[in-house]
Structure 1
Amino acid sequence: MGSLTDERHTAPSPDAAPRWKNRAARRSGTLVLGALMLTACSSMVAPKPKDPEALAEYNEANDRFEPLNRKMYDLSVKVDKYSMRPVAKAYVWAVPVPVRKSIGNMVRTMNEPSVFFNDVGAGKPRRAGDAFVRWCINMVAGVGGFIDVAKYAGYPHHDNDAGLTLATWGVESGPYLFLPMMGPSSIRDGIGYGIDQGLSPWNYVPRGYGLLTFNWAYNIMGVINARADHLDDLDQVQRDALDPYATIRSAYQQQRKALAQAIKDDHRATVPDWYN
């Protein structure tokens, strides 16, 4: 503090003049940069409407970053049009339905450990037990997960992820986000995605025995297969919806609320039905 006081009340020497000019330039540059950042941030945030009906719609949409999200959506649609969509169409044309279904089963089985950990985190031991049994049955009897034997044994698949687990803890979703090339999300679900990456054991595979190659192939095939599964649905939304962005936003938010509520409402006993 003493040095600042000296600078304010003591006239600078001729040798110090260039330093003062540099400081002034840096401060001016910082102020300009800060002003630009504030302007950019304000342009990313949709202003709250004053009309009560419009305000109710604004709150229901939970999309304060709508201007930025719409830009990310438009960018993703354009990139998808010339990348993932043609690949998905070629994949659907070249790969028979039973094979695509088997690949989907494999991807789902490989994700069961993450589902298991999130079921434990949500305090749902019965769901966690089902996920664990599904993984064991499908990895062995289902030939590495390509056949969903567990479903026929009475253990159907259920969804869970870290975003949903946080929701069961009472963590609010935060504003809606549209992540480039990743799709709909939220502040909570974005954090949950990072947690899920840490929970997936396949992200820790060693470099030997072709396991790293398998991990890359598994992730790439999962992305292509998922895009192919929603090929017709997304095409229909783009073709028929008056506002495809708003339609996707609404569908995503409703689905996430329904999944989180289903987890909260699952009060089944901790032992399987056949045990009784």
Structure 2
Amino acid sequence: MQNKPLKNLTILTFLLVLGLSGCAETPNEEGLTEYVEQDAQYNIKGTYDPFEGFNRAMWDLNYDYLDPYLARPVSIAYVDYIPSPVRTGIRNFLSNLDEPANMVNSIIMLDGEQAVTHFNRFWINTTFGLAGLIDIASSAGITKPGNRAFGDSMGYYGVDNGSYFMLPLYGPVTLREGVGDTVDGLYFPLNLLTFWQSLGKWVFEGMEDRAALVSQESVLRDSPDPYIFTRDAYIQNKNFRATGGESVAEEPEGEEYLDEFLDEVDDF
């Protein structure tokens, strides 16, 4: 989901304003000490949640109202009633739009092999797969590796996740991801999409992703603190992607839940 219009416009502006407001003053020694002490309480390295009160309020809105009464039923209806070939074609077409961005970010992350794979998938599926509706490349044995976003590229070179936010309906996002998705949206062919086309892409991909998580709902319900669990799973996934797919030494509480959950959110 590289090109996310809500994030590229209103959400990104919101994140940047909050992020810049935190940088308006040069931190003194006391401020740095406070930050370090605060960071020490997080289960996952790279987590910074300075707006936890706001985020928990948004979590309650999403978890108690927007998801059960809007996102979940719409997503399940889409999966249940839209014919599988149609869904597959839409999914293939939208995924193909991301391949150039995936290729560029693979190059930035010094992964030439994966960059070539994304390049070959794009031109093969675009040329012979009806603009990507049919995944000819996978049939030819050129399977798609994980997505690479510019936010992952920044993380690869040591840029922190930045502030964590929980947004209405959209869900979790970090400042690094918001900026990274904006850069990815500048690449062809994502830069050709209008706002409404980008919104449609985000909605269709979001319905597929939400439906895929139905089987993991019990894992979330059984966690001691669903908000913390979701935040830790999200940040751990971003840390993993920033390493280029290499494992990172993190053993948070509830690790047995995270392993299952991350299998589903790896492409978020």
Could you say which TM-score interval applies, normalised by the shorter chain? Answer: 0.5 to 0.7
Aligned to 2:173: 185
Aligned to 1:255: 237
Amino acid at match of 1:243: D
**Cα distance in structure 2, aligned partners of 1:200 and 1:253:** 28
Higher mean alpha-carbon deviation, 237-246 vs 130-139, is at 237-246
Task: Answer yes or no: is 1:124 the counterpart of 2:124.
Answer: no
Conservation of the 8 A alpha-carbon contact between 1:88 and 1:231? no
Query: How high is the sequence identity, in percent, across the aligned residues?
Result: 32
Measured against aligned partners, the alpha-carbon deviations of 1:143-201 in whole angstroms (never above 9, x if no partner) come to 33233221233322121001001111221112322233222222211211222222352
Equivalent runs, 1:16-165 vs 2, <5 Å: 56-58=40-42, 60=44, 61-77=47-63, 78-158=65-145, 159-165=147-153
Q: Secondary structure at the match of 1:190?
A: helix
Aligned to 1:231: 214
Measured against aligned partners, the alpha-carbon deviations of 1:24-73 in whole angstroms (never above 9, x if no partner) come to xxxxxxxxxxxxx9xxxxxxxxxx699x8x97333745323222211122
Shift in CA distance, 70/132, structure 1 to aligned 2, threshold 3 Å: same
Conservation of the 8 A alpha-carbon contact between 1:176 and 1:185? yes
Q: Please, what TM-score do these two structures have when normalized by structure 2?
A: 0.66
Amino acid at match of 1:146: L
Unpaired runs of 5+ residues, structure 1, are 1-36, 38-47, 207-211, 266-276
Measured against aligned partners, the alpha-carbon deviations of 1:67-108 in whole angstroms (never above 9, x if no partner) come to 221112222232222222221121122024444333322221
Amino acid at match of 1:222: E
**Cα distance in structure 2, aligned partners of 1:127 and 1:142:** 20
Aligned to 1:197: 185
**Cα distance in structure 1, aligned partners of 2:164 and 2:104:** 25
Aligned to 2:228: 246
Amino acid at match of 1:104: R
Deviation of the 1:131 alpha carbon: 0.8
CA RMSD, Structure 1 to Structure 2 (Å): 3.3
Deviation of the 1:238 alpha carbon: 4.3
Amino acid at match of 1:188: R
Max Rg structure: 1
**Cα distance in structure 2, aligned partners of 1:190 and 1:49:** 22
Measured against aligned partners, the alpha-carbon deviations of 1:222-270 in whole angstroms (never above 9, x if no partner) come to 332332233333x3344332322112111112212222212579xxxxx
Shift in CA distance, 186/153, structure 1 to aligned 2, threshold 3 Å: same
Aligned to 1:3: none
Amino acid at match of 2:206: V
**Cα distance in structure 2, aligned partners of 1:188 and 1:213:** 24
Conservation of the 8 A alpha-carbon contact between 2:156 and 2:244? no
More helix by share: 1
Amino acid at match of 1:184: P
Shift in CA distance, 257/214, structure 1 to aligned 2, threshold 3 Å: closer
Q: Which has the higher contact order (CA 8 A, sep 6+)?
A: 2
Q: Please, what TM-score do these two structures have when normalized by structure 1?
A: 0.65
- Would you say how many aligned residue pairs link Structure 1 and Structure 2? 212
Unpaired runs of 5+ residues, structure 2, are 1-20, 22-33, 248-268
Conservation of the 8 A alpha-carbon contact between 1:63 and 1:177? yes
Conservation of the 8 A alpha-carbon contact between 2:162 and 2:174? yes
**Cα distance in structure 2, aligned partners of 1:121 and 1:55:** 29
